[in-house]
Amino acid sequence: ARGHWSGTLAGAVQYHFGEALSLAGGPTRPGIVHRLDRDTSGAILVARSDLAHHRLARQFHDRTIEKQYFALVAGSIDRDADLIDCPIGVHPHQREKMAIRRHDEQSRPAQTYYETVERFRGFAALRVQPKTGRTHQIRVHLHHIGCPVLCDRQYGGRAELTVGELSGDPSDGTVLLQRQALHAMRLRFLHPAHGRVMEIEAPLAEDIQAAWDALRKWRS
């Protein structure tokens, strides 16, 4: 509701753009064309007219928008690049989660391509491109291959990352990261008005950058 937007993306968008926003996504999501998982940072598209909203939403539906994410993951990854092709459905016992469901009629095809950017002892940095747009897709797929997104409370089993965990000094409890290390870094799409190719980038969030720097310092 409009009275409960404090600290939300919808509230920030409304504050920045005022009333000049599309309402095609509903009154509680003014201008917001697509979603990011809670605690995922990065680029998101906002439409200022219903026509622009519909045209951008159609590109998401048709999978013509290219999305690229940056992720820090826990675990050792051997391949330089790979395509994870596993269907995703609702978790059989925890309805708020998703899971790989190969023999479930309700599951949907899902594909995620990744490239290994940098390896560390027990961790890795990845560039990730989801080919489909399933709920929690990147997080579920990376968990499936044994490399969950770092500090992913739902799929990774770790709530935070401290300096001491990386440096080996248990007395240093300085917190580096308290949310999943997943960042929407780039979107490539057709402008809804003139049709030209557009590419936007979001600089890496400070907490993820700090965690990456710490991995380079203590786990290279």
> What is the total count of domains within the chain?
1
Instruction: Give the model confidence (pLDDT) of 94-119 as tens digits.
Output: 989 999 999 888 899 999 999 999 99
Q: What is the DSSP letter of 203?
A: P
In a domain, 50, yes or no: no
Q: pTM score, two decimals?
A: 0.90
In a domain, 147, yes or no: yes
- Expressed as residue numbers, the domain containing 135 is 65-218
In a domain, 204, yes or no: yes
In a domain, 73, yes or no: yes
Which residues are part of the catalytic machinery?
37
In a domain, 206, yes or no: yes
Q: Is 166 left (phi over 0), alpha (psi -120 to 50) or beta?
A: alpha
In a domain, 46, yes or no: no
pLDDT mean across residues, the chain:
91
Contacts of 19 (CB under 8 A, 6+ apart): none
In a domain, 110, yes or no: yes
- 3-class SS letters over 23-72: CCCCCCCCCECCCCCCCCEECCCECCCHHHHHHHHHHHHCCCCEEEEEEE
Q: Write the CATH number for 90.
A: 3.30.2350.10
pLDDT on residue 65: 97
| 3-state DSSP assignment of residue 183 | strand
- In one letter, which amino acid is 77? I
Instruction: Give the model confidence (pLDDT) of 153-205 as tens digits.
Output: 999 988 999 999 999 999 999 999 999 999 999 999 999 999 999 999 999 99
In a domain, 38, yes or no: no
